[in-house]
Structure formats: structure tokens, C-alpha cells
Amino acid sequence: MQHRLIATSIPYMNAGPHMGHAMEFIIADIIARYNRASGNDVFFLTGADEHGSKIYNKAKELEKGTLQMLDEHVTLFKELEASLSIIPDDFIRTTDQVRHWPTAQAIWQKLAAKGDIYKKKYSGFYCEGCEVFMPEKDLDAEGNCPIHHKKPTLLEEENHFFQLSKYEYQLKKIISDDTVKIVPEFRKNEILSFLNEGLNDVSFSRSADKMPWGIPVPGDETQVMYVWCDALTNYLSGIGYSFDQEKFNTYYPTYLHVIGKDISRFHAIIYMAMLLSVDMETSKNILVHGFVTSEGEKMSKSLGNVVVPEDVINIYGADALRYFITVGGGGVGEDIDYTQTGFHNLYNSGLVNGLGNIANRTSTLFCKYYPEGTDTNSFVLDSEIEWVISGAYKTYTTSLEVFDLRTGYTAISTLIDLANKYFDEEKPWTIKDDPEKLRNVLLNLVEILYHINILVAPFLPQTAEKMREIFSLTDSKLASFFIDPSFWLTQANTTIKLVTVPLLFEKK
């Protein structure tokens, strides 16, 4: 058993959640569930980034107290997580003055003690939307932020800076040799390319009179922490850095960060450099995901193409959205394009006609002919079916260990296709006069369905719970969806009894 901290980036709380947040939560949750089902001790962390001028100004615009607005937004994020069957082990808020502030301030003091914090006057272009200072080379041809399409504000003030440039060589080394493994490979290459351009030191604080909503800089009441030492240290405070040393020692270093491509530099470069500075072990893996686009365009209110996660969930269910995020795009880290037609067709083909169909057909026919169950005496699993199931486990585990969720789900699809094909070819409803053959065919189908149930659980947890009801037996592996490729249901049980359940998916 390994202890593994799996963490999402913490969303910025200037508004409610969008489809990109749902995407990140789903990806991290699937990996966390897979690791638990594989026998690992997982601590799954999410949270909220709640400081900064944009949040402070947004609250003033809404004529609300800043913390009141933040509480409302945090509630929306927690409700989205719950609706997607995502239950983190902790949800760390950067406004938490008991757990998070002491951690951020302790890390600041260690950085300062190392000589990596200094103060200087600075003039630069500041994008409030990104809440970062942007070099002119990063602006578009019109001098705008390429993300928010607005001109950054030219700011001049005296701030504390972190000596990021000092760690350029070490960062290149630990990323090149996969000490910090960045997935997918092309995102790793982007980070290395950025490093090869050379690093500048980064502003680490803001004037308290210009950004009053933040964590005070230790020893300098005129300054508040900028986002780097404030928000990025959530991965430490979330596992008890300043208040629970035993928990911290258990789960540190971070096994996996799940982050969006727009903030990959911050995690892979600035946060890793901070850890190097304070002589802490760096994170093991960084999974960089893409965006959810809409009809080929980036979602934006101005274009009117925003897809609200709750709207999709209300129509199709949470597992349908989880399925779309898993298989709806290309390879690891690629964008996923949402269209109503594409989502609808994917739902009906993969879930209604695929998984739902074989679960319903198998359980219904089994219960029709064996309402009280049947014994497994002398039953031998079809060798080809055994071979395909064993191969599916290998593909599944190999893929999920490298965070390739789409290929991992393909292994489940192989079993779903196998079961549907076997059902159609054997036509069990036509062989009721040959009871031995009928029993063998149905037990083969039950065995496949059982393994589908186990493997699909990290991806479609609500569906897996419904499927589990089909198997009216007490089985510890099924109870926990424990992944064990050496386990065979029809060998471990002398009697098999199923029950019928409502359709897993309604056709839309």
C-alpha cells in the first residue's frame, strides 16, 4: 500500500463553477477512486483560492462583504462536487486563518531565511483577470492579455520578490529526468521550452493599500502575499503542515497535481522552485488537462456558448458528464469539445446502448430462467472470455497508472462489446431447452458483467452502485469495488443469484 496525495488546483473564487472546473474534479476523482480500489491510501484534496484584488473588487461591485461572497461561491463549488459524486477528504480554503495562514507564513519565513526573498521597486503590466504581471512579450499584437483581451494596467510599486531565476538549472534537471513527471509529454516539452527562454524573479507580494484582501507578509504589515506563496501552499496546509505533523508526514510529497494547461507554469515552475528553496521534496506527478470548448470555441459569456455543468447533470445525470469527460476528447491533456448533438449521441451509444443494454439484458434473462439462482458446479469459464477479461485488466491498470483515462475506459468498452457480441451470437433466449448450455452462457455473461462493474466504478460511481444491486450476494471485493484481476466470481461462489434493477440509463 502506498500513501498518495491527489490534489486539484484550487479554483479562484471570483465566480461560480464552470465546465472546466467539473472536468478537473472528475479527472482527479477518477484517479483517486482507482487508487483506493487498488489498495492505496489516498488523500484527495480540493479547495478554494480566495484572496486578491479581483475578489475584493467583485465583492464591492456586488455590494457584499468579501467573505459573504466567498462563502456563497464556495457553497456552489461544493454542491457541484457533491452532484458529481466527488467527496474530497478535505476542502482547504485560503481564508482559513487557523490552518492555511500559518502554513503560508511559515513557508514565507523559510524562503526568506534561505535568502530567496528580497524587496525592490517594480514597474510592470498587471492583468487583474489573470492576477499576474505579464512581460510585454506575452501580450498580443494589440498589447492585450491574450486570455482576457484587455490591456493590462501599468503598475509601479515596491514589492517582495522571490529569486525564481536561482532555480532555473535545477528545474530543468528535475523536469527533464522526470523527477517531477509532467503528463502529457507535450506539456512537459512546453515547460522545458519556457525554461530555456530563461527565468526572471517573480513578484511575491502586493501593497496592502492596493490589495487589502490577503495574507499579511510576516514582518511587513505594508504588504500582503501575492498568489504564489498564498494559494500554492494549499497543498501543504491541506495535509496538516502547520497543525498535524503525522498526517503531513504520511501524505507528503504530493503524488499528483491535476491542473489546467493555463496554469501549468505556476505549478511546474514557481511551486517546484519554492519547494527546492525550502529543501522539501518536490511533487511526483503533474497532470495537465486541456479545456472544455463549445462548438470549437472557448466558452465565454460574450459568445453565449457557456455550458453549465448543472444543466447537463439535470438532463443526463452526473455519470453521463463523467463519461463525456473521460472519452469525449482525444488523448491525455487534449481539449474536449462539447456539442449538444455530440454529447447526446455519445450518451446513447456508449451508455444506453452499450453498458446499460448488456446489464439489463443479462440480469433480466438470468432472473427469468433462474429466479432463485443457479449453482456453479462444473462450470468452466469460456477460455476466450477469460483471456479478454485478463487483457482488459492489464490495459486498464497500465493506462490508469499513467493517468490515461480514455485508454483505461477503452478496456471497459472491450468487455461491454464482448458481452453484447456474445449475447447476440449465443442467443440465450433460444436455448432454454438445453439447460446446461443456457446456464453456461448466462454464467459467462454474469462473469463479464461483474468485472465491468468493478472496473467502471472509478469512472461512473453512481452507475456502479446501481449495478452492484444486480448481484444479490455479499462479496467484499464488490462492496469496495476492489480491483483484483485474479478474482473470478463464478469460481468463488457455489451459487449465483441476480436481481433485476431499473434501467441504468434512460434513452434521451
Q: Among this protein's residues, is 289 annotated catalytic? A: no
Dihedral, CA of residue 242, residue 247, residue 250 and residue 251, to nearest 10: -70
- List 58, 127, 257, 451, catalytic entry: 127
Reading the block at residue 452, the C-alpha cell is: 465491468
DSSP designation for 504: S
- List 64, 78, 114, 148, catalytic entry: 148
Q: Among this protein's residues, is 229 annotated catalytic? A: no
Contact 412, 467 (CB under 8 A): no
Q: Among this protein's residues, is 367 annotated catalytic? A: no
Cα 27-33-39 angle, rounded to 5 deg: 140
- List 60, 150, 298, 508, catalytic entry: 298
One DSSP character per residue, 177-212 reads TTSSEEESHHHHHHHHHHHHT----EE-EEETTT--
The Cα 451–Cα 478 span in angstroms is: 9
Q: Among this protein's residues, is 18 annotated catalytic? A: yes
Length of the chain, please? 508
- List 54, 73, 145, 267, catalytic entry: 145
CB contact set of 109 (below 8 Å; sequence gap of 6+): 218
Q: Among this protein's residues, is 145 annotated catalytic? A: yes
Q: Among this protein's residues, is 127 annotated catalytic? A: yes
Strand partners, 216: 224
Whether the CA torsion 485, 491, 493, 495 is positive or negative: it is: positive
Strand partners, 4: 42
- List 3, 18, 119, 497, catalytic entry: 18
Look up cell 480566495; give the residue.
50
Contact 418, 382 (CB under 8 A): no
- List 51, 130, 229, 257, catalytic entry: 130
Reading the block at residue 180, the C-alpha cell is: 517531477
Q: How far is CA 357 from CA 338, 352, 505, in A?
A: 25, 6, 9
The Cα 208–Cα 217 span in angstroms is: 9
Q: How far is CA 44 from CA 38, 40, 97, 287, 471, in A?
A: 15, 12, 21, 15, 29
Q: Where are the beta strands (DSSP E) in 59-143?
A: 90-93, 117-127, 132-134
**Catalytic positions:** 18, 21, 127, 130, 145, 148, 298, 301
